[in-house]
Amino acid sequence: MNFVSTRGEERVSAPEAIVRGMAGGGGLFVPKRFPEVSKEELADMLPLDYPERAARILGKYFDEYDGEGLAAALRAAYAKFEGNDPAPLVRMESGVYMLELFHGPTCAFKDMALSVFPYLLKEGCKLLGVKEKILVAAATSGDTGKAALEAFAGKEGVKVIVFYPEEGVSKMQKLQMCTQDGENVNVVAVRGNFDECQNGVKKIFRSEKCNAYIKEKGYLLTSANSINVGRLLPQVCYYFSAYLDLVSADQIKMGEKVDFCVPTGNFGNILAGYYAKRMGLPVGTLLCASNKNCVLTDFFRTGIYDAKRPFYRTMSPSMDILISSNLERLVFEASGRNTALTAERMKQLASTCRFSLPSEEISGLQESFYAATASEDDTVECIYEFFEEYGYPMDTHTGVAMDVAQKYLEKIEDDTMSEKRPMIVVSTASPYKCPQDVLYALTGNDVKDSFKGVKRIHLLTAMKVPEAIKSVRYKPIRFKTAVSPDKMFSALQTFLG
């Protein structure tokens, strides 16, 4: 399938969209149209397992790729997950369902896409006849970085550099990244927040000088962030699979609508849910859950996106984001796919930190999205109560989503106009990824050491400690470099040598 830019006339093949990562002029690639999944096709997928379902869905977007190769790559990718289902759906006694996306090699949902991304990239290069080696650069709010490092470590012909906000990730996230093996990877702390990190990476992408340097070194630059469709679209699959699991388990009838609640930062995960809906999956409302950095909540309620506001560090660091990259793709859809208007709005955002949508566009979005915020106290309370009531521990990001889902369900309860539908809460990380904050939420105890947190959570919940968490404990710290945001390219130069 062809991909078009949100900001201009470009039109490229799937491999080109993946290998380049980003369109010209700062635009993002989006599928030329949303491929439809009919009711019959949905029913056909019922008996399939996750990799097979994913091959059907992804194949619709990436039809230039060999179908069997793609299916084999997906099978291999998800074989690295713990347990026999990479995206299990768990029913809570309260009636909501948890879609657990944290059973991959780094314990966060980024593994769902990044496990298959190396194949998409490598095969894409082959299809395009690219001779250069690949340089993957990523900004991370904590989890993308580790998932990208793990996915590419030791792979031939690829180098990976990850930038993370020095003070803006959990200790465990930092430890996971800085102990990463592999001669082809590098990790750099940036003295700034995630927005500055992401901006720095985007600048490198746009700069002719940087690109020329990278080319001269024999590399082609690409991105592992969800601005890359190779990262974004594999995420569509778990929305389909969760729905099918509900049908298989006789929880809903085929065709009945369900809601999803998604803890949101860069808007990649929830956008994939929106794409699933546009492809014909019976989705009612997509709940966009934010922490105290509630720029998206305000946007969905008022139509005004205003990033000029205080930035807060919260206990859900992967959602501490004020410039939500993938929102551009939604704004593009809201405008009726108007590239000039989208470019104009994004230019405004870059220069004034703000843009707004007219009422007909925002009310269109409000038909699909509901947005709300969970404060730090709400999140702690929710994690505590859920464990006390149902014995189910969740991580801090998922806690934000659960709090928002509960607020929404209460609102619906009082509102005779709204329809109550099955609710799927997307669980994006293992509780062991932010062990100190989770332990605090569960017990009120503060511990300085991440592994003390892990141990106590294990004693309290009996939840298995994933290998990925255990294994970083005794590994040496390999990466210690920290730079200011304007020195990110220099760090990249040092890495390429």
Ligand X SMILES: *Cc1c(COP(=O)(O)O)cnc(C)c1O
Specify whether 480 is catalytic.
Answer: no
Contacts of 454-457 with C-beta under 8 Å, sequence gap 24+, read 457/393, 457/431, 457/432
By beta-carbon proximity to ligand X, the closer residue of 108 and 149 is 108
Give, as ranges, the residues between 209 and 228 that touch ligand X (CB under 6 A): 226
User: For residue 11, what are its two tokens?
Assistant: 């039109």
- Which residue among 15, 268, 284, 422 contacts ligand X (CB under 6 A)? 268
Residues 283 and 258 sit within 8 Å (Cβ to Cβ): yes
State yes or no: residue 163 binds ligand X (CB under 6 A): no
**How many Cβ atoms from other residues are within 10 Å of residue 129's Cβ?**
6
What span, in angstroms and rounded, lies between the C-alpha atoms of 349 and 68? 42
Residues 320 and 194 sit within 8 Å (Cβ to Cβ): yes
Tell me which stretch binds ligand X (CB under 6 A): 37-45, 258-266, 304-312, 486-494: 258-266
In terms of Cα–Cα distance, which of 156, 169, 163, 62 is closest to 116? 62
By beta-carbon proximity to ligand X, the closer residue of 103 and 122 is 103
Structural element, H or E, at residue 241: helix 236-248
CB of 222 to ligand X, least distance (A): 18
By beta-carbon proximity to ligand X, the closer residue of 184 and 428 is 428
What span, in angstroms and rounded, lies between the C-alpha atoms of 108 and 466? 11
Which residue shows structure tokens 């949902």? 109
State yes or no: residue 143 binds ligand X (CB under 6 A): yes
CB of 396 to ligand X, least distance (A): 8
- In the three-class reduction of DSSP (H, G, I as helix; E, B as strand; rest coil), residue 289 is classed as strand
Give, as ranges, the residues between 306 and 365 that touch ligand X (CB under 6 A): 318-319
User: For residue 395, what are its two tokens?
Assistant: 């991580």
End-to-end CA distance of the chain: 37
CB of 224 to ligand X, least distance (A): 12
Active-site residue (options: 110, 122, 202, 433)? 110
- Which residue among 170, 176, 222, 269 contacts ligand X (CB under 6 A)? 269
- Which residue among 163, 238, 267, 305 contacts ligand X (CB under 6 A)? 267
Residues 6+ apart with CB under 8 A from 204: 137, 210, 221, 488, 489, 492
Number of residues that bind ligand X (CB under 6 A): 16
State yes or no: residue 108 binds ligand X (CB under 6 A): yes
CB of 402 to ligand X, least distance (A): 12
By beta-carbon proximity to ligand X, the closer residue of 222 and 235 is 235
Which residue shows structure tokens 């369109």? 23
State yes or no: residue 264 binds ligand X (CB under 6 A): yes
State yes or no: residue 193 binds ligand X (CB under 6 A): no
CB of 99 to ligand X, least distance (A): 12
Residues 6+ apart with CB under 8 A from 79: none
Q: For residue 109, which amino acid is it?
A: F
Strand order in the sheet with 423-427: 89-91, 97-100, 423-427, 258-263, 283-290, 369-373
Residues 6+ apart with CB under 8 A from 212: none
Give, as ranges, the residues between 120 and 139 that touch ligand X (CB under 6 A): none
What span, in angstroms and rounded, lies between the C-alpha atoms of 288 and 270? 7
CB of 101 to ligand X, least distance (A): 9
CB of 231 to ligand X, least distance (A): 9
Residue window 375-404: x/- pattern of binding to ligand X, with contact defined by CB under 6 A: ----------------------x-------
- Which residue among 429, 457, 472, 492 contacts ligand X (CB under 6 A)? 429
- Which residue among 186, 428, 436, 450 contacts ligand X (CB under 6 A)? 428
Interface residues with ligand X (CB under 6 A) are 108, 110, 143, 226, 263-269, 318-319, 397, 428-429
Residues serving a catalytic function are: 110
